[in-house]
């Protein structure tokens, strides 16, 4: 087994002393001395950094991936931009596991010096390698032994340890970045909703909306620049959550204000619908191909080529809107409305937020159960879709307020409810997706878009697209029917797992604290 040890030395004189001590026992042969600038990359959410991973490039074809203390070097790599652009399969897998489809941005530059020495014995045979990585923080010393020279490794190890270097728990690159005050942005797709022990409903509502509104604003630049599709997705998620907040707590802000925010936030979201729809379908291109025989693939390719062209136009239109004075005016109007909210006339606004949250959770849950009990095999699809919307409202309430309930049994009950709700939402969501996909595709081939396609690509092209869409619609219909059966099963299971008493008991637990929202996008 090859021995390997690392240390941190922050005193340059101590590093020189260690080298001098080693020279008294070995011949130190310089093998490499190099200086370069490394640029470190991460996504908008700093997910690599938060997992103690680093991605760096020297802009000369070398890319470095640091996992805690381990550093892997990849050659002939382009400057990092997206995980999918990595050449080496291992690097692509590493980066993709943490950043998914997100754009990678430069986060910091660092000057680095490398010194590599071969330690040789009296016979001038190499017995150890010594690598020194020097940054503004100090030096990381790495001693590696060679097979057959365990005695010499122990000797070199003793020499280094005699100088009492610091142990190293993280790579020197990460420690150096911390020294540069590099720290993640405040953005989180799973925000922390901060509510104090004595907060009333009005204060809590304002705090939650402020956090969600920050997420809306922080995603605007990424949408306009089209850096990646998650900027739009998370923008829409933040708008939906905020809209649900004002709808669910309309008695706190008043009916008129609730309606204003419902409409205004909904208007912002609707502006993004076309781009969102096209993103969804383009992402499913490979999935759709797997559902159809080869004879329909050309039609699908032509269809998605049209979708890609439509997406460019849709993004251009949305980017203009986000950059426009009209958009900024709308944003300012919403912010002014929030700042001018008057809670004095609302009795619910002054009550403890925990009491209101418990009431809303129970009411929302009971509404879902009541609707689910009416579902039969003869129920129309819209009735199931209505339950899906109610389930989403309950999910938002759990995201907002679960952290208020810290008593052990209350936390256990809410965790059980969330688990059951997620399972139900997954099933109802899949059922809805199949229906929406069929409707969208069938509408598209009967819209003026198909006529435009005939004009510039010919009737043969449009015919192949129509044939592919009809075939795909048939497959999706079968999947929708199968999913309908699963949805009915999940609704029955949700009803049988009765949580009414557990939710009612939340009234008896007047404890508040702060916990991270544990939602999944």
d(CA 357, CA 417): 15
**How confident is the model at residue 443, as a pLDDT?**
87
Domain boundary, last residue among 147, 179, 211: 179
**How confident is the model at residue 517, as a pLDDT?**
43
Residues 443 and 357 placed together within one structural domain of the fold: yes
d(CA 327, CA 333): 10
- Kindly report, residue by residue over 91-101, the tens digit of the pLDDT: 999 999 999 99
Q: For the chain, first and last CA: distance in Å?
A: 45
Residue 385 lies in a domain: yes
Q: Which helix (H) or strand (E) holds 381?
A: helix 381-401
Residues 115 and 216 placed together within one structural domain of the fold: no
d(CA 28, CA 36): 23
Token readout for 492 is: 């029955």
**How confident is the model at residue 140, as a pLDDT?**
96
d(CA 89, CA 95): 10
Residues 233 and 126 placed together within one structural domain of the fold: no
Phi, psi of 162 (to 5 degrees): -65, -20
Task: Supply the CATH number for residue 117's domain.
Answer: 2.40.320
Residue 521 lies in a domain: no
Which parts of the chain have pLDDT scores under 50? 511-521
Residues 239 and 320 placed together within one structural domain of the fold: yes
**How confident is the model at residue 450, as a pLDDT?**
62
**Residues 153, 145 contacting (CB under 8 angstroms):** yes
Task: Supply the CATH number for residue 239's domain.
Answer: 1.40.20.10
Residues 41 and 76 placed together within one structural domain of the fold: yes
Residues 24 and 110 placed together within one structural domain of the fold: yes
Residues 396 and 336 placed together within one structural domain of the fold: yes
Residues 407 and 310 placed together within one structural domain of the fold: yes
d(CA 426, CA 285): 21
- Kindly report, residue by residue over 357-389, the tens digit of the pLDDT: 999 999 999 999 999 999 999 999 999 999 999
Residue 519 lies in a domain: no
CB atoms within 10 A of CB 399: 21
Residues 172 and 205 placed together within one structural domain of the fold: no
**How confident is the model at residue 149, as a pLDDT?**
93
Q: How many domains does one find in the chain?
A: 2
Residues 252 and 141 placed together within one structural domain of the fold: no
Q: What 8-state DSSP symbol labels residue 80?
A: P
Residues 147 and 218 placed together within one structural domain of the fold: no
**Residue-number span of the structural domain to which 18 is assigned:** 4-179
Domain boundary, last residue among 179, 210, 231: 179
Residue 194 lies in a domain: no
Residue 266 lies in a domain: yes
Give the alpha-carbon dihedral of 421, 425, 426, 430, to 10 degrees.
160
Q: Which helix (H) or strand (E) holds 359?
A: helix 353-373
Residue 186 lies in a domain: no
**Residues 59, 39 contacting (CB under 8 angstroms):** yes
Residue 428 lies in a domain: yes
Residue 184 lies in a domain: no
Domain boundary, last residue among 179, 213, 245: 179
Residues 174 and 258 placed together within one structural domain of the fold: no
**How confident is the model at residue 3, as a pLDDT?**
78
């Amino acid at each position: 087994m090859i021995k390997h040890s690392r240390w941190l030395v922050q005193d340059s004189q101590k590093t020189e002393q260690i080298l001098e001590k080693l020279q008294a026992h070995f011949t130190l042969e310089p093998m490499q001395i190099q200086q370069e600038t490394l640029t470190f990359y991460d996504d908008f959410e700093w997910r690599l950094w938060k997992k103690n991973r680093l991605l760096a490039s020297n802009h000369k074809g070398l890319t470095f991936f640091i996992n805690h203390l381990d550093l892997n070097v990849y050659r002939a790599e382009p400057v990092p931009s997206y995980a999918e652009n990595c050449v080496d399969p291992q690097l692509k897998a590493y980066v993709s596991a943490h950043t998914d489809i997100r754009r990678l941005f430069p986060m910091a530059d660092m000057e680095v010096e490398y010194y590599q020495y071969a330690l040789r014995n009296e016979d001038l045979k190499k017995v150890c390698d010594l690598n020194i990585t020097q940054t503004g923080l100090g030096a990381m010393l790495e001693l590696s032994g060679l097979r057959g020279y365990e005695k010499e490794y122990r000797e070199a190890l003793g020499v280094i340890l005699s100088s009492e270097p610091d142990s190293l728990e993280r790579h020197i690159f990460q420690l150096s970045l911390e020294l540069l005050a590099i720290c993640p942005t405040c953005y989180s797709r799973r925000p922390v909703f901060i509510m104090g022990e004595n907060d009333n409903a009005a204060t809590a509502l304002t705090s939650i909306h402020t956090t969600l509104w920050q997420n809306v604003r922080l995603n605007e630049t990424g949408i306009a620049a089209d850096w990646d599709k998650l900027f739009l997705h998370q923008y829409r998620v933040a708008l939906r959550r905020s809209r649900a907040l004002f709808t669910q707590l309309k008695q706190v802000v008043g009916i008129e204000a609730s309606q204003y925010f419902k409409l205004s936030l909904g208007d912002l979201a609707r502006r993004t619908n076309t781009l969102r729809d096209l993103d969804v379908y383009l992402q499913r291109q490979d999935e759709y191909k797997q559902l159809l025989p080869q004879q329909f693939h050309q039609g699908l390719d032509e269809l998605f080529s049209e979708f890609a062209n439509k997406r460019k136009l849709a993004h251009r239109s949305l980017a203009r809107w986000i950059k426009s004075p009209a958009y900024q005016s709308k944003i300012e109007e919403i912010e002014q409305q929030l700042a001018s909210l008057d809670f004095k006339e609302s009795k619910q606004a002054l009550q403890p937020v925990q009491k209101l949250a418990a009431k809303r959770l129970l009411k929302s849950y009971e509404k879902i159960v009541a609707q689910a009990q009416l579902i039969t095999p003869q129920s129309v699809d819209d009735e199931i879709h209505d339950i899906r919307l109610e389930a989403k409202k309950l999910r938002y309430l759990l995201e907002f307020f679960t952290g208020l309930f810290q008593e052990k049994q209350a936390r256990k009950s809410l965790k059980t409810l969330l688990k059951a709700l997620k399972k139900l939402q997954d099933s109802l969501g899949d059922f809805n997706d199949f229906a929406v996909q069929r409707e969208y595709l069938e509408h598209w081939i009967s819209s003026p878009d198909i006529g435009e396609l005939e004009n510039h690509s010919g009737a043969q092209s449009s015919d192949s697209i129509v044939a592919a869409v009809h075939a795909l619609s048939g497959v999706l219909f079968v999947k929708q029917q199968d999913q309908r059966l699963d949805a009915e099963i999940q609704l029955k299971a949700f009803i049988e797992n009765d949580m009414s008493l557990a939710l009612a008991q939340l009234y008896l637990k007047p404890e508040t604290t702060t916990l991270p929202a544990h939602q999944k996008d």
